[in-house]
Structure 1
Amino acid sequence: MKQQVRYKYTGVGIAIAIVACWLALLIYLLQYNVNFAAPQTYLFMLLQTHLYTGLFITAHDAMHGVVAPGKPKLNKAIGTITAFLFAYNWYPRLLPRHHQHHRHVATEHDPDYHHGSFWPWYYSFLKNYITWWQIVLMAITYNLLQLYFPLENVILFWMLPAILATFQLFYFGTYLPHRGEHGDDNKHKSGTQAKNHVWAFVSCYFFGYHYEHHDKPWLPWWQLYKTKE
């Protein structure tokens, strides 16, 4: 509890920073003069992908009440906004599913788990988390954006980063840590990345340290690295 009070406003500040950076970079990139031969074009796309992932990681932390500890209304508001910005996800729908994942990890009752190979599992993951109304809203947004911005900008910096971020979250936050068999001594049925804080942050905001997240779900993403110290 003392730790939660200590970080009460830090999480809010980090959440605001992620949203502000995502929005500012998106506005800039939608007007960016695209040069397909320039490496910075693709670096910008990857950076925007990482910020998209940060939106969902922030919503995920809100599901554990750690964005604004002790401020449930503010915590829920931030979770709702960041989830919605990430391809129109609906926070009240995500919340019970995520806690079901934590209660029944790697079982038939786990909505994130699929007993099979990579692509069927990815399809199952998308099917569980993407709804038709999200697709409709994304299609409407796509058509509105291309009225005001070049088509290649909309695709490179708005559409593709959202798709790649979904893949990033699945691969590093679900597939790698939960694939395969885990022994009876592994109470969370989760693997974990080797200690490398730079790669852990770049790959998925430290959620490759996945056993540690299941073991200490009250830690915000920006504190997870300490579990490896």
Structure 2
Amino acid sequence: MAIARKSDFRGVWIAAGILVCWAVLLVYLLTTITVNFASPLTYLFILLQTHLYTGLFITAHDAMHGVAAPGKPKLNRLIGTLTALLFAYNWYPRLLPRHHQHHRHVATEQDPDYHHGSFWPWYLSFLRQYITWWQLLLMALTFNVLKLYFPLENVVLFWMLPAILATFQLFYFGTYQPHRGEHPDENPHKSTTQAKNHLWAFLSCYFFGYHYEHHDKPYIPWWQLYKTKV
């Protein structure tokens, strides 16, 4: 049964902030920066853009739980669709049922996010679940268009590489780390959680290291998830 939610536009403004920061920084990095591998700023910009890419997907994830724009289902879906597309052309209507299947059947054979194995086989299994050939084709097309207008190094380092690194960030902190290993029967969500450290929890994956708490209260948006941590 769907849970009725009051309208709350804080999530909309936060989603807009992430989207604008990602777009403005990307334009700046593509048009202004001269790549200098001896400068620590180059690596700082890569990490920052990676974090913003992760923020796009986390926003789409909030939309999957109806909390990007609670009480506004059409706006919520629009936010989810847009932020998912900007993250390597993910298709929100395809992600939505798979993510809810993960919540219903967490760490079982019916869980599309779960793989009984070590990091790399699990990561590859995770990618196969969520990456399609048409996404790869669109990414290749976009890459070839971008490199016509911007320096190749900038396109690779600030558009392509952060998207790849963000998949590692999302997978490691949001899937592999919390769900790997055996979980006792009294753990209904088959998930662990990070130690309480709000700064690290935000920097690592927008508080989704508090993963047991997310499964326990999936109606809490990412920016309030830290409040559930005891």
Aligned-residue offset at 1:228: 1.3
TM-score by length of 1: 0.97
Partner residue, 1:17? 17
1:118 is aligned to 2:119: yes
Superposed CA deviations along residues 32-84 of structure 1, whole A, max 9, x for unmatched, are: 11111000000000000000000000000000000111100000000000000
Partner of 1:145: 146
- Output the CA distance in 1 between the equivalents of 2:44 and 2:219: 33
Q: Structure 2 matches for 1:1-229, cutoff 5 A?
A: 4-5=5-6, 8-31=8-31, 32-229=33-230
Please tell me the residue identity of whatever aligns with 1:176. Q
**2-structure distance, mates of 1:4, 1:51:** 27
Partner letter of residue 134 of structure 1?
Q
SS at match of 2:109: coil
What SS does the aligned partner of 2:126 have?
A: helix
TM-score of the superposed pair, with normalisation by structure 2: 0.97
Sequence identity (%): 79
Q: Which runs of 4+ in 1 moved over 3 A?
A: none
CA-atom RMSD in angstroms? 1.4
Distance 1:35 1:13 in 2: 34
Deviations 1:165-213 (A, max 9, x none): 0010000000000000000010000000000000000000000000000
* Structure 1 residue ranges without an equivalent (≥5): none
Cα separation, 2, equivalents of 1:228 and 1:171:
20
Distance 1:167 1:110 in 2: 19
* Distance in 2 separating the partners of 1:125 and 1:8: 33
Query: Which residue identity is paired with 1:118?
Result: F
SS at match of 2:85: helix
What is the distance in 2 between the residues matched to 1:143 and 1:77? 27
